[in-house]
Every structure is written in structure tokens, then in C-alpha cells.
Structure 1
Amino acid sequence: MATILCYGDSLTWGAAPQGGRFNHNQRWPELLNDHLGSTHTVINFGLPGRTTVWEDPFREGRNGSLSIQTTLEIFGPIDVIILMLGTNDLKHYFNVGAYEASKGIEQIIHKIQAPSPHNFPTPKIFLVAPPNILSPKGDLADMYEGAVEKSQELHQHYQRVASLHKCVFFNSASIIQPSELDGIHLDLLANKQLSLALLPILDQLIKC
């Protein structure tokens, strides 16, 4: 039996483009759990607004690098960790791009691969580049000013980091895009498509 931890932001948490949160059985980590069956456990530990390493001045506790070690202790031992972060890094007020987001992901990977204080085995890392941002709507338009172009560069930087640190890599932008309702979050179909795309890769990781 394998334990799989999904460590991400609102795209993992299940934020609906129209507002609120999708039901438990509509989010891609929970759908992935259903596909795998009762022999494995998929944990959804997404958090809206979570960044790789940046401190958000408007939302406390969103720095993914600072919370990854306690997360590994709380849920450990973990067999596979699925990382999908970076969208929030591209908010206008952080003033960083895809390269900096990839360096942030790299910091999280370093911490995951560090020796465990409880002698837990090192989890296999499945790095997923988030989908490209579309044209953000409403308040998100100002928040993500200039982020559309930056998001299109995430996958190439993430793939380099994954290769360097021997992580499995998947570019979600190759199969899904955010809803046109807000340009950021996944609709029901995209959640389903992502779960189905990750399933065979994750299945192989578990068997290795």
C-alpha cells in the first residue's frame, strides 16, 4: 500500500472557477485516489495561495518551502509526493518569473530529499508543471498582470529541475488549461483529465 501526497495550491485544493470549492469527489487528487482503489491512499494537501518560497504579504502561511518539512512529518512516511506549484509565484506583486519559480521548486525538492529525522524513506518526487494561465478575469486580472507569458515558460524550467534532481516530470499544460471563467482555476473536466493523465505515471512510480 502506497501513500501519495499531493502538495500544491488552489489547483490541487479544488478551487472552483466560479468561486468556492469543488466537492470531495470532483477534485483531481481525490479522483486519482478513486482510480487507484483502496490499496493506496492519496492525500490532498493543497492550499490556496501557496507559493514555492515567497512570503505573501496579504496571506499568512503560504510559503511552501517553510511548511514542507512539517508536512512530511505529519503525513509520513510518504511513498510519492506530487508537487504542483508555481502559479501563485507569478502574481504581479512578487515580481518574479518562471525561472525564479523553478528555483523555488528546487528548494522544496532539496528539503524533500534531505535525510528524515524519523528515518523515513525519501519519497519519490513527481513534479507537475501547472497549466498555462489564460486571460485572468476580475480582480485576478490586476493580480496576475504579465503572468500569462511567464506561465508559458514554467514547463521548460521545471523539466530542467526535474532532470537535475531525478524527479519524474509531467507538463499539465500539454493536456489541460484553466477555465475561461477566471483564467486561473480548473473546471470539472480539467480535474478529471488531469487525474487520468497522472494515473499511469503514478502507477509505474508505485511499482518501482
Structure 2
Amino acid sequence: MKKALILGDSNTWGYDPRGYFQRYDLTYKDYLNDLVAGWMFFEDSLNGRLLRDVKDETYDLASIDLFCIMLGSNDLMHYYDVDQIVSFMHDLIDSIDTDKVMILCPPIIQIDGFKEESIRLNEAYKK
């Protein structure tokens, strides 16, 4: 069975905004494990995680077949612009075997002032 690690923030962790530090019963990882045959998904997620804070970290991916990164929402909320966030992402993936990396676009932030930037970030990630 192939293994995938998802590096993420509260979206990956399954933060439920209806309660203080509550988690949904089923998380992103759980859905993937149910839907994708032949793969086992693991998570390294943290509420409030910034891409800026992990861009220089190293990850031992010897036993991982795919490294998924779903970060950037919190960076936008901390007023980093899209170009800076994309640069942080490049810093992180430059030190990784890029054949193993998948960038996942975070959900659109539905808050005034962030929605447009959130859409721009997702478009930049697709390039």
C-alpha cells in the first residue's frame, strides 16, 4: 500500500468552527482513506500553521510515496501577499524530491478582503 503525508493547517486537521478547538468526526484524511484505494493517508496538521514557518524545514520522506501540502490560508490572513506565499511554497518544495509533491489548493476564504486574494492564491498554485 502506498503512503501519503498531508502537511496542513486547521483545514487539514478538521477544525470545526462551531466550537472552540473542536474537530469534525471525519477529517480530510479520513475521507481520502475511504475514497482512494491502495493508499494510506497520514496528516501533519496544526491549527494556525503558516507556510512561512515551515518553508525551511526538512522532511524525511524515505517511507512516503506522496507529500501533499495544503497551506497558505493562514499566510493570507496574516497579510502576506500571494507572491510571497508562492515564494514560501517554492522554498519548501525546492528541498524535496518534487516527484513526490502535490500542492493542494486550500479552500476559498469567504471573508471580505480575503476572498479575492484566496482565489488568486489558488490560481497561482495551479501554475
Name the TM-score class by shorter chain.
0.7 to 0.9
* Partner residue in 2 for 1:51: 50
Which sections of structure 2, spanning at least 5 residues, go unmatched?
Answer: none
* Partner residue in 1 for 2:23: 21
Determine which of 104, 109, 119 is the counterpart of 1:133. Answer: 109
Number of residue pairs aligned between Structure 1 and Structure 2: 125
Calculate the aligned-residue CA RMSD, in Å.
1.9
Larger helix percent: 1
CA distances 1:117-170 after superposition (whole Å, capped 9, x unpaired) = xxxxx652111111211027xxxxxxxxx322211201221122xxxxxxxxxx
* Partner residue in 1 for 2:91: 107
Residue 151 (structure 1) aligned with residue 118 (structure 2): yes
Percent identity over the alignment is 30
Counting only pairs closer than 5 Å after superposition, residues 176-187 of structure 1 correspond to structure 2 as none
Q: 1:76 to 1:43 in 2, by over 3 A?
A: farther
Which sections of structure 1, spanning at least 5 residues, go unmatched?
Answer: 54-62, 114-121, 137-145, 161-208
The two structures have a TM-score, normalised by structure 2, of 0.86
Q: 1:2 to 1:152 in 2, by over 3 A?
A: same
Residue 124 (structure 1) aligned with residue 100 (structure 2): yes
- Deviating beyond 4 angstroms after TM superposition, the runs of 4 or more aligned structure 1 residues are none
Determine which of 41, 47, 54 is the counterpart of 1:64. Answer: 54
Larger strand percent: 2
Q: Shift of residue 40 of structure 1?
A: 2.8
* Partner residue in 1 for 2:6: 6
Q: 1:40 to 1:159 in 2, by over 3 A?
A: closer
Structure with max Cα Rg: 1
Is the CA contact 2:56–2:91 (under 8 Å) kept in the aligned structure 1?
Answer: no
Is the CA contact 1:30–1:44 (under 8 Å) kept in the aligned structure 2?
Answer: no
* Partner residue in 2 for 1:165: none
State the SS of the aligned residue for 1:43.
strand
Q: Structure 2: how far apart are the matches of 1:30 and 1:41? A: 10
State the SS of the aligned residue for 2:69.
strand
